[in-house]
Structure 1
């Protein structure tokens, strides 16, 4: 969201000219911000309100995304420790809720520290992350079916229907289908990531959209293969959710890995190895998620749209990062995790908040494009033509469906331990944000600020 140019004077002039030309043509591929797109697509009248809604939804989604990764990292680490010290049946150590919260908090703090003091290290870690996930994930997908002593037939994987354990309290098949469709939707986010660096990309008006579509395709196929492999390698479906199994019923993929490797080699070393691979993916995801969340908080603060904006838009004088914004995101994330000690569905709630916020933020520019007069839209080289509006309409309907389903209960009967508190948390946050807009912000918030030529200290 912040224009930043490097290189010699001539190179900087060329890049600036390219950015300005793209802006004139309404390609919207530069600043790397959803709410920049929302502001321009909604037009001068509704632009500020659209960007306000989009920016806050994205902020909520990104901060909750840190919590999602912190919880997932803690969950997998808990199982690694359990299998290293035995099993749940063999006296291994299974972390208590208080210890689990400690792990959750530690991961959040580690990511905040790295994002404050080790920006160059993060760039290196990001490269490791790509190799880690591609190689580790590929080996898991290829090796697990070979290790498993037996695999399920295709009829089981593609046609067998199970409601899950009775402990969920869900007995309605249609309700189960509605929930299961969104099984991994929270991980299919960040579609706009490629746009964040398009100002540094040659032929950005074409290569930016192509990069977005390519990344979605790769992640979707890769994730689908991972889920398929795990499903084919299930040894006993009902045993996966048994609270007395070797992994305490705490993490289903861990039990699938344990059953495969213990069944073949009579030890859990292979399962521990692949759990470390999975843990690394969550750790890297949390690190990059903290970076993204802090940048959005910084940008919204730069535009005056965040409480105490002057504090959160400050850049660390030495490390040139929005350190205050980083620690604000970490603090909010830790507060979100506090119910772990008493509530059973914290992960569900955090995932719901993350997905509704992030997916909802995509819905704002899509809706703006739908209602935008065609005469006001000047397409760039990458354009869907007549299919543009139908695709937008389908996408918007899917977003509405997604946001609705993620607010539904996942356990019955509902009590304070099993209640999905995401609707309450989101309802309170969004009510305050909208009230702020109506009473005050609509008078002065103008959307994203174009800051070409600002002092270098304000650039990231």
Structure 2
């Protein structure tokens, strides 16, 4: 989208990348993320610091400046009370159904706390700093995400024009069109829009870098517990950088393969994303449900404990996970067809079937659960 607006827009002969070019850019980014994740932990830490400041400063700039640049903004009554289902583009006219599907974007945006959880082993006093990092990421994502959506919604010029395939962004990315309309309406050029999109793209870049890091740590943790095939290879640390390099490149290879369906069917790639999100969110349901059914006398709280609020919070969290995972299995476009069908239920069924068969026929004979690699220093924990 940045290239399209910088080269003349869809109306001015700008370059719109084909699926093949898009796939090449996608693969190049994965390789770059994997290469950066092979450096020492200090390098990754520095990149994370840059990421924080980029997203804080850039996020504030976008959310504050965009409504100020937009010459005509929507009133608060429109932003907070207007409801739009856009049946022309999605085929969905049911307001309750649209509300149910609205959870999808928020679930995608909460990947941050999962990254914080997987990196706790590489932090000091993880039993305290881990929960603090998770709560902090939730708070930051919620505040900045809400502010970003408000800035975009206030700056909408013409809702119907946003989805028009003949507009400046070819109807491919609604936020880009909103930003373009704001800057072109005031300055009669797309320079400001390109700059803002570069800021947003930088956030995506750092997000992908972080996701690669946390994915590699998940593979490392599972292989350390002998939970995946060829575990000795994936849990091996580089002797100098102390990074699970093999796990990093395994994640990169899987990411490259999962991108290939983009060339033919976008819905296949979307199904992969849905399955991964369901698996990620659903994995938290297991310990939460265990906490709900566990007898209080058998539970040993750690240093970060919610006390009496523990069970109510667990109940709300468990119900939310069930709702979120169910929403990812619903169709998002109508009428249903080969290119609009949500293949996530099929993919989830296949994955669960394979995993259960693997467990019943083989894994249950040798997998003994997590391998303890530290000694318990305080029995109260």
Structure 1 residue 381 displacement after superposition: 4.3
Farther-moved stretch of structure 1 (346-355 vs 305-314) = 346-355
Task: Kindly provide the CA deviation profile for residues 192-221 of structure 1, in whole angstroms up to 9, marking residues without a partner as x.
Answer: 55554478446x655543443233122211
* Equivalent position of 1:181 in the other structure: 103
CA contact under 8 A between 1:342 and 1:417: conserved in structure 2?
Answer: no
Task: From the superposition, tell whether residues 127 and 403 of structure 1 become closer, same or farther in structure 2 (CA, over 3 Å).
Answer: same
CA contact under 8 A between 2:120 and 2:129: conserved in structure 1?
Answer: no
* Equivalent position of 1:83 in the other structure: 5
Farther-moved stretch of structure 1 (410-419 vs 345-354) = 345-354
* Equivalent position of 1:261 in the other structure: 183
Task: Kindly provide the CA deviation profile for residues 16-43 of structure 1, in whole angstroms up to 9, marking residues without a partner as x.
Answer: xxxxxxxxxxxxxxxxxxxxxxxxxxxx
Q: Bigger relative contact order, structure 1 or 2, given CA contacts below 8 A and separation 6+?
A: 1
Equivalent of 1:222 in 144, 154, 161: 144
* Equivalent position of 2:242 in the other structure: 320
* Equivalent position of 1:289 in the other structure: 211
Unaligned runs of 5+ in 2: 376-381
Structure 1 residue 184 displacement after superposition: 2.1
CA contact under 8 A between 1:344 and 1:418: conserved in structure 2?
Answer: no
Task: Kindly provide the CA deviation profile for residues 134-163 of structure 1, in whole angstroms up to 9, marking residues without a partner as x.
Answer: 001101111111100111011111111111
Equivalent of 1:97 in 10, 16, 19: 19
Q: Residues of 2 paired with 1:308 and 1:215: CA distance?
A: 33
Structure 1 residue 120 displacement after superposition: 4.2
Equivalent of 1:277 in 199, 209, 220: 199
Where do residues 200-219 of structure 1 align in structure 2 (5 Å cutoff)? 200-201=123-124, 206=128, 208-219=130-141
CA contact under 8 A between 1:189 and 1:359: conserved in structure 2?
Answer: no
Q: Residues of 1 paired with 2:177 and 2:106: CA distance?
A: 19
Q: Residues of 2 paired with 1:279 and 1:189: CA distance?
A: 17
Aligned residue pairs, count: 374
Equivalent of 2:93 in 151, 171, 174: 171
CA contact under 8 A between 1:101 and 1:341: conserved in structure 2?
Answer: yes
Farther-moved stretch of structure 1 (102-111 vs 121-130) = 121-130
Where do residues 127-146 of structure 1 align in structure 2 (5 Å cutoff)? 127-146=49-68
CA contact under 8 A between 1:353 and 1:422: conserved in structure 2?
Answer: yes
Partner SS for 1:228:
helix
- Give the alignment's TM-score, normalised by structure 2: 0.92
Partner SS for 2:37:
helix
CA contact under 8 A between 2:113 and 2:133: conserved in structure 1?
Answer: no
* Equivalent position of 2:333 in the other structure: 411
* Equivalent position of 2:350 in the other structure: 428
Task: From the superposition, tell whether residues 102 and 211 of structure 1 become closer, same or farther in structure 2 (CA, over 3 Å).
Answer: closer
CA contact under 8 A between 2:272 and 2:347: conserved in structure 1?
Answer: no
CA contact under 8 A between 2:67 and 2:151: conserved in structure 1?
Answer: yes
Where do residues 118-157 of structure 1 align in structure 2 (5 Å cutoff)? 119-157=41-79
Q: Residues of 2 paired with 1:96 and 1:141: CA distance?
A: 30
Equivalent of 1:367 in 281, 289, 293: 289
Q: Residues of 1 paired with 2:156 and 2:269: CA distance?
A: 24
Where do residues 445-460 of structure 1 align in structure 2 (5 Å cutoff)? 445-452=367-374
* Equivalent position of 1:22 in the other structure: none
Structure 1 residue 444 displacement after superposition: 2.0
CA contact under 8 A between 2:115 and 2:214: conserved in structure 1?
Answer: no
Task: From the superposition, tell whether residues 101 and 170 of structure 1 become closer, same or farther in structure 2 (CA, over 3 Å).
Answer: same
Partner SS for 1:184:
helix
Task: Kindly provide the CA deviation profile for residues 329-376 of structure 1, in whole angstroms up to 9, marking residues without a partner as x.
Answer: 111112211111112335643432232111111111101101111110
CA contact under 8 A between 2:112 and 2:137: conserved in structure 1?
Answer: no
Task: Kindly provide the CA deviation profile for residues 270-319 of structure 1, in whole angstroms up to 9, marking residues without a partner as x.
Answer: 11011011101111111111111111111211211101212222223443
Q: Residues of 2 paired with 1:228 and 1:319: CA distance?
A: 42
